Structure 1
């Protein structure tokens, strides 16, 4: 039976580290699915540090959009992260929030239909206030709606605050629906 875990929180709250620790506690050889598009040198350095932190026991997959191309049946996988994954849809769809949300939900459902343990990392970007930039507001809405969708499907939701894990939801699939 598949299991979905969502780890959310602010920037540098410890989300990725928590996801990796959790995956390693469940599997000796977890999978790391990186969704980032490398936009610049600073971001490439962040990615390099993440890769360095993980050991050779990890199988690494880089996939910017079509997670469902990868059948992870029987595996434990960290998908890092939903925010960067949604950025790729948002960019591809010319900032169309409705189309990006539709595409992301369909891809999420196709990807998680397999019997695996999925640990999704996401950001709470809407917690910092309302942006003056219309595009940023549209993306923040997209992120919030997708976080709600994944949380509604998740068996567990963990909020990271200053490196501390706070359990928001355990077992069951209650919450917001389509």
Structure 2
């Protein structure tokens, strides 16, 4: 089962996803995809880890999520935006290569018999990106979100903490 949860920054996506995971499992996995860029970001990661209690298993994987064995587990994948950022920067902003790698990794993850709760931002609803690099990333992100939404069993859009069921 694949749940796709999208929305804006600080819309309540992660909270919604974590509550859903705890409804589905007594011992869910929180799969963090962020790269710890600086001390401020490390503090943010630590704060998020401290918010989760002993029921949670914390995993970290910056890019190769398809290699993880999630069979039989309930997994919150947080988040596609940071995960794509890692690919985008490491592959020198090559959108085609990033999209190909992202789809391959997601397909490997989606093949497993697990409950996956995928969190992503909706970047294309905000202000038009100023830079060429920003516009390329928004395009990559939008195409990836569309791919996940098509593969998902359920899709929820979060606005101001309120879930809107789309699929």
Q: Could you say which TM-score interval applies, normalised by the shorter chain?
A: over 0.9
Give me the whole-angstrom Cα distance separating, in 1, the residues matched to 2:130 and 2:44: 27
What's the TM-score once normalised by structure 1's chain length?
Answer: 0.92
Instruction: Please list the CA deviations of residues 127-154 of structure 1 after superposition, one character each: whole Å capped at 9, or x if unmatched.
Output: 1021120000000000000000000000
Instruction: Please list the CA deviations of residues 116-136 of structure 1 after superposition, one character each: whole Å capped at 9, or x if unmatched.
Output: 000000000111021120000
The 3-state SS of whatever aligns with 2:129 is: coil
Give me the whole-angstrom Cα distance separating, in 2, the residues matched to 1:41 and 1:10: 24
Q: Which runs of 5+ in 2 are unaligned?
A: none
Give me the whole-angstrom Cα distance separating, in 1, the residues matched to 2:126 and 2:60: 29
Q: 2:67·2:108 contact (CA, 8 Å) conserved in 1?
A: no
Equivalent residue in structure 2 for 1:142, among 137, 140, 143: 140
Give me the whole-angstrom Cα distance separating, in 2, the residues matched to 1:115 and 1:144: 26
The 3-state SS of whatever aligns with 1:71 is: coil
Q: Which runs of 5+ in 1 are unaligned?
A: 170-178
Residue 65 (structure 1) aligned with residue 63 (structure 2): yes
Instruction: Please list the CA deviations of residues 78-108 of structure 1 after superposition, one character each: whole Å capped at 9, or x if unmatched.
Output: 0000000001110111000111000000010
Instruction: Note the C-alpha offset of 1:49.
Output: 1.6
Give me the whole-angstrom Cα distance separating, in 1, the residues matched to 2:99 and 2:110: 16
The 3-state SS of whatever aligns with 1:122 is: strand
Task: Give the 5 Å matches for 1:80-95.
Answer: 80-95=78-93
Moved over 6 A (4+): none
Alpha-carbon RMSD: 0.7
Give me the whole-angstrom Cα distance separating, in 2, the residues matched to 1:113 and 1:48: 31
Residue 155 of structure 1 corresponds to which residue in structure 2? 153
Give me the whole-angstrom Cα distance separating, in 2, the residues matched to 1:61 and 1:68: 13
Instruction: Note the C-alpha offset of 1:7.
Output: 0.5
Instruction: Note the C-alpha offset of 1:110.
Output: 0.8
Instruction: Note the C-alpha offset of 1:70.
Output: 1.1
